[in-house]
Amino acid sequence: MAAGMNTSSVHVCKYLLPQNKERTVYDGFIESLGQEFHLRVELPVNKDLKFSRIHCDAKLATILRGSLPIIRTRLQQCQQLSAFLEELRSLVDSAVRTNKMFESLSTAPALYGKLINEISIVKWDRVVDIDECFQKVKLQTIDSSAREHYISVHISSQYPNEAPECSTDLPSEFSLQWNSKMSLVDVLQQFDKAVERHQTFWNVLDEIDKSTWVLEPEKPCRKDAARRIALGNNASIQIVVNPLHPTQLPECRFLGADQTIKPLRDNMNRSLQMWDSSKSVLSNLQELMNITFPSPISSKKEDFCSECSICYLYRLDGAIPDKVCKFPACNKAFHQICLYEWLRSLPTSNQSLSKYGFKNIYGECPYCSQPITVRQEDK
């Protein structure tokens, strides 16, 4: 493998220079965050990197601690010296950074040493973030469908006697089974299992996100079980998928213009018993309502995002205009809050308290003067 002999390989560590004319021994310094460490790499004369050796000074060896065996393995696996040096460089940087934090902390050094060791076992490439006090570690996992998931692990000074607190992007609660002999490796293993249990849930939602216009949430997270899907102009369906039974009939709520949603709701109510859990939620919904949802292939999202006819915005404090005038010729959409404030300001509007405790306000549509109602609780 000639790459080991290539002088361009040394540019990553500019002070690492060949020591013999065969260019099999490199010696010099690696610089990281203002500190210099002595490093020597010996390549075998037959140029097979598998038999390479690496030596570093005591200071760097202490900082790298448990990572040295990994570094040696990586050197042996690397096809090119330059690739290895780049990898070594980033490993040294992150270890030096961690070590600086470690040195600046006066309490419980044993705990931080333990955590550094645990992290090198779960591998640094699964660590997305560590806070400065070394109390929050954010770890990443990639599931069998190449989706990324994250878990934030909050470590107290009583760790590992006290279980770490975890927050995840799972749609259901993640309850960590813990005892004081466990480590971050166990946290990740349990998280990986929980992630795999939700594969069907994410398949269901990924299909919806890909094939329909999702109006809300604006940017769905992995934990979001609700989607508001465009059915037509000013008409949508809000569904909430059950994370534990993702292919069962989700909670459904129709929103928007009555003349558009009534036939769809009637179709659905008539054929609920046809729901087939072996099919995807999207196919079931389309079959039951007897429609094809508007899709990104055949339509533009703007077609389903009419602005509010009072404030002329689409999104107002996160809300979208989902109150629609029932009069077909008008069909204007309003934010609940805009319509509520508008009606309240008119002397002709009436308010009443429903038997469920909601305050309804009745008045006239600002555009067509047909009767329109809005509920205060919804604003």
For position 176 contacting Zn ion by CB under 5 A, the verdict is no
Nearest 5°: the CA angle 166, 151, 249 is 95
Nearest distance from residue 238's CB to Zn ion, in Å?
A: 19
Nearest distance from residue 168's CB to Zn ion, in Å?
A: 35
For position 275 contacting Zn ion by CB under 5 A, the verdict is no
Nearest distance from residue 321's CB to Zn ion, in Å?
A: 6
Number of H helices, E strands in the chain: 9, 17
Nearest distance from residue 224's CB to Zn ion, in Å?
A: 24
Q: Residue 248: count other Cβ atoms within 10 Å of its Cβ.
A: 12
CA distance 105 to 117: 17
Sole binder of Zn ion in the list 199, 367, 373, 376 (CB under 5 A):
367
Nearest distance from residue 215's CB to Zn ion, in Å?
A: 15
Nearest distance from residue 268's CB to Zn ion, in Å?
A: 26
For position 320 contacting Zn ion by CB under 5 A, the verdict is no
Q: DSSP readout, 249-306?
A: PPEEEEEE-HHHHHHHHHHHHHTGGG--TTS-HHHHHHHHHT-----TTT--GGGG-P
Sole binder of Zn ion in the list 27, 136, 368, 376 (CB under 5 A):
368
Handedness of CA 360, 365, 369, 371 (dihedral sign): negative
For position 150 contacting Zn ion by CB under 5 A, the verdict is no
For position 308 contacting Zn ion by CB under 5 A, the verdict is yes
Adjacency order of strands within the sheet including 148-154: 127-130, 136-142, 148-154, 165-168
> Total binding residues for Zn ion by CB under 5 A?
11
Q: How far is CA 260 from CA 151, 232, 235, 296, 331, in A?
A: 42, 8, 7, 20, 10
**Stretch 326-365: interaction string toward Zn ion, x if CB under 5 A:** -x--x----x--x--------------------------x
Q: Dihedral of the CA atoms 336, 341, 342, 343 (nearest 10)?
A: 90
Q: Select 119 or 324, whichever has its Cβ closest to Zn ion.
A: 324
Sole binder of Zn ion in the list 204, 231, 310, 320 (CB under 5 A):
310
Residues that bind Zn ion (CB under 5 A): 308, 310-311, 325, 327, 330, 335, 338, 365, 367-368
